Amino acid sequence: GGAGPSTSNHQQEIQERTVKEKRDKKVFSRLEMLEGAKSIGAGAATIALAEADVGIRNVLSSLIHSMARNPSLAKQSFGYAILGFALTEVIALFAPMMAFLLSFVFRSHKKS
C-alpha cells in the first residue's frame, strides 16, 4: 500500500495547481469588455480628425488649381470651395462628438 498516499498527494498537488492557475488567470467580465470596446471606438472616432485635415487640404488645392486654370470662374469656384470646407468640417466636428458620447454618455450600468 505504499503507492496510495503518494498518488493522493500527487492528485492534491494537481488540484491546488489548477485552482491557483484559475485564480491567477484574469477573466474579463462583460462590463470590462464593454468598457474596452468603448475606448477603442472613441479612439477610432478621432481618426476622422486626421482625415478631415486631408480633405481640407484637397479642397484648398483644388481651389488654387481651378483659379489658376480659369480665373473668370474664380467667384463660382470659391463658393464651391466654401461648401467643400463646410462639409469637411462637419466630419471633423462629428468625430470628437461621437468620441465624447461613447466615453461619457453611454455609461455601462453595474449590477449591484
pTM attached to this predicted model? 0.55
User: How does pLDDT run across 74-111, given as a tens digit for each residue?
Assistant: 999 999 999 999 999 998 888 888 888 887 877 666 55
Angle ∠(42,43,47) on CA atoms, nearest 5:
115
User: How does pLDDT run across 31-62, given as a tens digit for each residue?
Assistant: 778 888 888 888 888 788 888 889 999 999 99
Question: What pLDDT sits at residue 112?
Answer: 47
- The residues, any chain, with a CB within 8 Å of residue 87's CB and separated by 6 or more, are none
Q: Which domains does the chain have, with CATH numbers?
A: 28-105 (1.20.20.10)
Position 102, amino acid? L
User: How does pLDDT run across 12-29, given as a tens digit for each residue?
Assistant: 888 888 777 766 666 667
Task: List Cβ<8 Å contacts ≥24 apart for 84-92.
Answer: 84/55, 84/59, 85/56, 85/59, 88/52, 88/55, 88/56, 88/59, 89/52, 89/56, 91/48, 91/51, 91/52, 91/55, 92/48, 92/49, 92/52, 92/53
CB 59 within 8 Å of CB 88: yes
